[in-house]
């Protein structure tokens, strides 16, 4: 079962990686990162205007947050689960 990280608008507005760090840092400290392949998922709760046709990846704040996460944890894609979180 994947570890799900919940992200809200304030995380994107502040570029706050603390929810991600809270999930990953214990794995890093214990040297268990390689044991968590495809064990990480994101649940994104971002209010959008009705009729906003953009996908989450097209929203600048979301893109910037994930760019920052990738810069800090360049191996993050290796941990991501392909299954969608609710």
Q: 7: which residues sit within 8 A by CB, 6+ positions away?
A: 19, 42, 43, 44, 45, 46, 65
Band (pLDDT 50/70/90 cuts) for residue 30 is low
Among residues of the chain, what percentage have pLDDT more than 90? Answer: 57
Band (pLDDT 50/70/90 cuts) for residue 61 is very high
Whole-number Å distance between alpha carbons of 48 and 81: 25
CA 52 and chain centroid, separation: 22
What global pTM score does this model have?
Answer: 0.83
Residue 23 or 29, more confident: 23
């Amino acid at each position: 079962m994947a570890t799900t990280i919940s992200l809200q608008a304030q995380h994107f507005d502040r570029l706050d990686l603390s929810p991600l760090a809270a999930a990953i840092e214990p794995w890093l400290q214990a040297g268990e990162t390689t044991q968590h392949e495809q064990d990480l998922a994101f649940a994104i709760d971002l209010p959008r205007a009705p009729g906003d046709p953009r996908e989450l990846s097209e929203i600048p704040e979301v893109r910037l947050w994930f760019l920052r996460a990738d810069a800090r944890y360049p191996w993050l894609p290796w941990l991501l689960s392909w299954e969608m979180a609710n």
